[in-house]
Amino acid sequence: MYDYKESRMKFVERTKHNRKSGVWNTHGLLARGNSRVRFLLFAYLGLLMLCAGCHSRFVEVTIVNQGPVMRVMEFDYPSASFGANMLDSGAKYHYRFKIQGSGPLSLQYQDALGHNRTSEGPKVDQGEEGSLLVNIDARGTVTWTPTLTNRQ
C-alpha cells in the first residue's frame, strides 16, 4: 500500500532549502532512482511544447435567412457537407468545418414554394481559415462574404 506521509517526508528531505547558500537541494528529484518524477516532468514539458505549437485551421460559417422559411438546406464544401431540415425566417445557422482539399462551396435549399435553389459560392483551398457569412435575402438571392486567409 502506498504510504503518502512517508513519500511526502522523503520529498521534503530531498528538496530542503540550504539556508547558508540560498540554493534549493534538488539533486534527489532528477536522480536516477526517481524515474516517476522524471517521467511526469518530461511528459509535462512535452505536452507544453505540443500545445504551444498547435493551431487548427477552421472556417466558421454563419448562414443568415432573411427570407421565408427554408427547407432541406445543404451546404457543400470540399470533402464533406452539412445541413439542416429547416431554417426559419430571421434565423441564423452556425457551423465550423476544416477544409480538406480545394473546390467550390455551394448552398442548396428548398424555398417556401417548394422550388429547389442552388447557389455557387467562392472556391476555397486547403489550409484556409477564417469566417464566412452566407446571407439569403427576401427574394432568395444568396450573398457570400468570405474572410479567409491561408497561412501556409
Residue ranges covered by each domain of the chain: 7-53, 59-150
In angstroms, rounded to a whole number, what is the distance separating the alpha carbons of residues 80 and 78? 6
The stretch 124-131 carries a mean pLDDT of: 91
Give percent of the chain with pLDDT exceeding 90: 53
The stretch 59-82 carries a mean pLDDT of: 94
- Report which of residues 14 and 39 the model is more confident about: 39
In angstroms, rounded to a whole number, what is the distance separating the alpha carbons of residues 90 and 109? 16
pLDDT above 90 (res 71): yes
CATH of domain 59-150: 2.60.40.2890
In angstroms, rounded to a whole number, what is the distance separating the alpha carbons of residues 69 and 35? 64
The stretch 21-46 carries a mean pLDDT of: 65
The stretch 79-98 carries a mean pLDDT of: 94
37: left (phi over 0), alpha (psi -120 to 50) or beta: alpha
Q: Is the pTM of this model over 0.75?
A: no
- List the beta bridge partners of residue 134: 63, 144
Q: What's the number of CA atoms in the CB half-sphere (13 Å) around residue 41?
A: 8
Report the Cα–Cα distance between both ends of the chain, in Å, rounded.
53
Position 80, amino acid: A
Q: Where are the beta strands (DSSP E) in the chain?
A: 17-18, 23-24, 59-65, 70-77, 80-87, 92-97, 103-110, 116-124, 128-136, 142-150
pLDDT band at 26 (very low <50, low <70, confident <90, very high): low
pLDDT band at 6 (very low <50, low <70, confident <90, very high): confident
The stretch 53-66 carries a mean pLDDT of: 85
Note the pLDDT of residue 103. Answer: 94
- Report which of residues 1 and 111 the model is more confident about: 111
